[in-house]
Amino acid sequence: ELKVEQNPLFLSMQEGKNYTIYCNYSTTSDRLYWYRQDPGKSLESLFVLLSNGAVKQEGRLMASLDTKARLSTLHITAAVHDLSATYFCAVDDSNYQLIWGAGTKLIIKP
């Protein structure tokens, strides 16, 4: 059974700092997704990672995938308050069903 673990589950950080959110999964998969959810809102797709070594960047966010280590990272560079949200990773179970992490609530303080 595919399981997905995110850590940390909660992260409070200062503006301008760098940090990384980790997403580990338990069985082989080469499709991983990152989503953002603002409080009270729906989920927005951030990154789609479809192969080993895939790296995607959008502004201050960069996501990578290591399928051998079964690990994806979401790196935040020089955080700004607008990036405060909950971030979810999700892994395809090879049947186009997504297994979700519990989410990382990120608070960025001015």
Partner 1 sequence: SQTIHQWPATLVQPVGSPLSLECTVEGTSNPNLYWYRQAAGRGLQLLFYSVGIGQISSEVPQNLSASRPQDRQFILSSKKLLLSDSGFYLCAWSVSRGPWAGELFFGEGSRLTVL
Where does residue 108 rank: exposed (0-12), middle (13-18), buried (19+ CB within 10 A)? buried
Residues within window 40-59 making contact with partner 1, judged by CB under 8 A: 40-45, 48, 50
How far is Cα 88 from Cα 36, in angstroms, rounded to an integer?
6
Considering only residues 67 through 96, tell me which ones interact with partner 1, judged by CB under 8 A: 88, 90, 92, 96
**Measured from the CB of residue 104, what is the shortest distance to partner 1 in angstroms?**
11
CA distances to 30, 48, 65, 72, 98 from 68, rounded to whole Å, are: 9, 17, 9, 10, 19
Contact between 33 and partner 1 by CB under 8 A: the answer reads yes
d(CA 81, CA 23): 22
Provide, rounded to whole angstroms, the least separation between the CB of residue 34 and partner 1.
11
Instruction: Verify binding: residue 101, partner 1, rule CB under 8 A.
Output: yes
Of the candidates 31, 44, 45, the residue with the CA atom closest to the CA atom of residue 95 = 31
Is the Cβ of residue 15 or residue 100 nearer to partner 1 in the bound state? 100
Among the listed ranges 19-27, 58-66, 67-75, 101-109, the one in contact with partner 1 (CB under 8 A) is: 101-109
User: Which 3 state secondary structure label does DSSP give 59?
Assistant: coil
Binding site for partner 1 (CB under 8 A): 31, 33, 40-45, 48, 50, 88, 90, 92, 96-98, 100-103
